[in-house]
Structure formats: structure tokens, C-alpha cells
Amino acid sequence: MTTYLMTGCAGFIGSNMVLYMLKKYTDIRIVNLDALTYAGNMENLKEAADDDRHIFVHGNICDRPLVSRLLAEYDPDVVINFAAESHVDRSIADPMIFVNTNVCGTVNLLQCCKEAWYDPEQRSWKKGRKYLQVSTDEVYGALGAEGFFTEKSPTDPHSPYSSSKASADHFVKAFHDTYGMPVNITRCSNNYGRFQFVEKLIPLMIFNAKNHRPLPVYGDGMQIRDWLYVEDHCKAIDMVASGGRSGEIYNIGGHNERTNIFIVKTVIDQLSRRLGDPEINEGLIRHVEDRPGHDRRYGIDPGKIKADLGWYPETTFEVGIVKTIDWYLGNPEWTEHVTSGAYQQYYAEMYGNRKEI
Ligand SMILES: NC(=O)c1ccc[n+]([C@@H]2O[C@H](COP(=O)([O-])OP(=O)(O)OC[C@H]3O[C@@H](n4cnc5c(N)ncnc54)[C@H](O)[C@@H]3O)[C@@H](O)[C@H]2O)c1
């Protein structure tokens, strides 16, 4: 049996990962450590509620005694760190919490793993153990019109979010280079799919358009992102966890670059047709003041993970976006729960005073 300690798996990608792994494998156990911040949602894990291969622990990755206890009690083969503050706009408003969770939390996990797995007298690591850091293409900064990020591209982050993720990546590499710790880092492009919190572009547009609310688009909307369906990301992480060479970084992306405005118009088109609602139209789009430091283009070269591990994305954008819209339309109570209370205040703070351009 393989035991995983996965952190942050009540959030968007982590919860998809838990369900993906439980479906794919029988002989596994997943300990899921999550602080249940605004982004963590136990409703995402409903399908795993009665599955005793999934053990949920409510707690913080910065809590050293707790992480050490979990490592001693469950002796995981693989630790996968999804836990993070993940929204760029929130990082611009309040960078410190990004430093605490994304940087200090990562270093705490690394330190606890080292204590559990390293024998200083023998100078050896427990066999078969691995730490996998889930990172992002945003650590590379912005691309011009040409070219792609490879694993050799220098890190050049611009937002407090991407800076905190890049910093964490450097610590992971340092634990490998300094102590010989078995690690991998994955850097994925923008994900979309079920369970994504309604602050991110695609679910925000679905929620607002469905309710005939204005659709705020930053600047000219020509920022380019490389979109990957979340299950394809889960598949890649699983492959890196089991087959990635120690110390290596793997970029994950599906060569699916789209402008933000294209995404918004696609959501409008799909939703209006599905709901037969002509009030959902491009007249809802509002171009608003751009996010400061907004990177213009991200684009991933996934050649290494394809060549080394045989990974490829299975879901095209055309199929994935329909599946995603269908999921949000089919689960209105999920959206209702996450958009009540604190979300309203967040939305007013983020978009209330943003000038239309
Ligand atoms: N969403 C994307 O498009 C994308 C793309 C590439 C990489 N990533 C990375 O993937 C990971 C997961 O992203 P996501 O979109 O699922 O994020 P998310 O914001 O949806 O979920 C984050 C989860 O981490 C938990 N968490 C936050 N702080 C914690 C702490 N201190 N201790 C324990 N748990 C804590 C939250 O409760 C939540 O469940 C992040 O590391 C992110 O940087 C995301």
C-alpha cells in the first residue's frame, strides 16, 4: 500500500486529486491536511466521505508538532504539497499571509520530512520517500509573443503570489542540493474544472453571467494563459510522484493558449445557449482597470514530462469547458454556499472601486 500525505486537498486541485487517486487505485491511503481557509471546502470531498482510505486532518502546514506527528503516525511514502494561498489579487492586497503559508509552510514541511526521513549518522534517506511541491508557471514571469517556458527558464516572478511560490521552489531545490532530499517540483499552467473557487476567471464569469451581473475583465483582456483541465494536472502529478527523477522540475501544460477575453466570450456563448437566455450576452462585459504587474503571456513547453514520463493531456479545451460549465450549472447549491457571507465583502473590495475603462 502506498500512503500519501497531501496538503491543501479541500481546495480546488487537491480535492480533484484525492478523488482522482481514490478512483484510480485501490491500495492507497491519503492523509489530507488542510487548514480550511476560505478556499477549503469539505463539500468538494463529499464523494470521499465514507471512504476510509481518505483521512482528513484539519490543521496548518506551518504547525510543526502536527506535521511531525502525522509523519510519525502514518509514515507516508510521498508528501505532496498543494496547500497555498493561491489568488494573485489577494496577494496584492495582503502579501504577508502568502509568505506565511507558501514560504514558511513549505519550509516547515521540508524540515519535518527531513527529520522523519534522514539519518544523519548514516547520511542516508529512508528508501522510497519523496516530497513533491505543486508549483506554478507564474514563477517564470511573463513571456513575449514568442517562445515557451522550459524547466531551464529562469524564475522571474512579478506578483507577491508568484514570488512566494518561486521562493518555496528555491527552498525545495535547496533541500535537495544541500541534504540530498528526494524531491520533485511541478510547474503547471492555469487549471480549470469543477470545485474552483468563484474568485478565479472561469467560475467568476459563469456565476456572474448566469446572474446577469457585469463581467469585469482586466484591461484589454488580451492577457494569454495556457489552460489545462484539472484532471490532466492530477494525472501529471501522479506520474511525477511515482516516476519523476529525484531533484527534477517538470512543467505541465497542454499548449492551449487563450486570451482572457476569448475565455469570457466562450463562457457567455456556451451559457446563453445552454440556458436559452439572450440576456447573457457580450453587453455584460466591463473592461476595468488592469491588475498591477499583470503578466501578459504564459506558455508552457511540456516536452520534458511527455518525453520522460509519457504524460499528455486527455481533455481538449472545447470538451473541458463544456464539462466545467455543466458542473457549475448542475451544482447551484455549491456555488450558493461559497458565495454567501465573506465572498460578498471580498467581491465589493476587489471590484467595487475598480474604474471602468
Ligand atoms: N489553480 C491553478 O490554476 C493553479 C495552477 C498551477 C499551480 N497551482 C498550485 O496548485 C496548488 C493548489 O491550488 P488551488 O487552485 O487548488 O488552490 P485553492 O486556493 O483552491 O486551495 C488551497 C487549499 O489550501 C488550503 N490551505 C491554505 N493555507 C493552508 C495552510 N496554511 N495549511 C493547510 N492548508 C492550507 C486551503 O484551505 C485550500 O483547501 C497551489 O499550490 C497553487 O499554487 C494552481
Q: What is the Å distance from ligand 1's center to 114 Cα?
A: 23
What are 95-125's pLDDT values in tens digits? 999 999 999 999 999 999 999 999 999 999 9
Q: How far apart are CA 75 and CA 2, in angstroms?
A: 10
Q: What percent of the chain has pLDDT over 70?
A: 100
Taking the CA of residue 60 as reference, the ligand 1 atom at the shortest distance is: 32
Does 344 score more than 90 pLDDT? no
Q: What is the mean pLDDT of residues 282-305?
A: 94
All domains in the chain, ordered by first residue:
2-193+228-255+293-315 (3.40.50.720)
Q: Is the CB of 236 under 6 A from ligand 1?
A: no
Q: Is the CB of 215 under 6 A from ligand 1?
A: no
Neighbours of 114 (CB within 10 A): 17
Ligand 1 site-directed mutation target among 12, 164, 258, 343, most atoms within 8 Å of CB: 12
Does 353 score more than 80 pLDDT? no
What are 54-74's pLDDT values in tens digits? 999 999 999 999 999 999 999
pTM above 0.75, yes or no: yes
What are 210-257's pLDDT values in tens digits? 999 999 999 999 999 999 999 999 999 999 999 999 999 999 998 999
Give me the helices (H) in the chain, please. 12-24, 64-74, 88-93, 96-98, 106-117, 160-179, 201-210, 230-243, 260-275, 303-309, 317-330, 332-339, 342-351
Average pLDDT value over all residues in the chain: 96
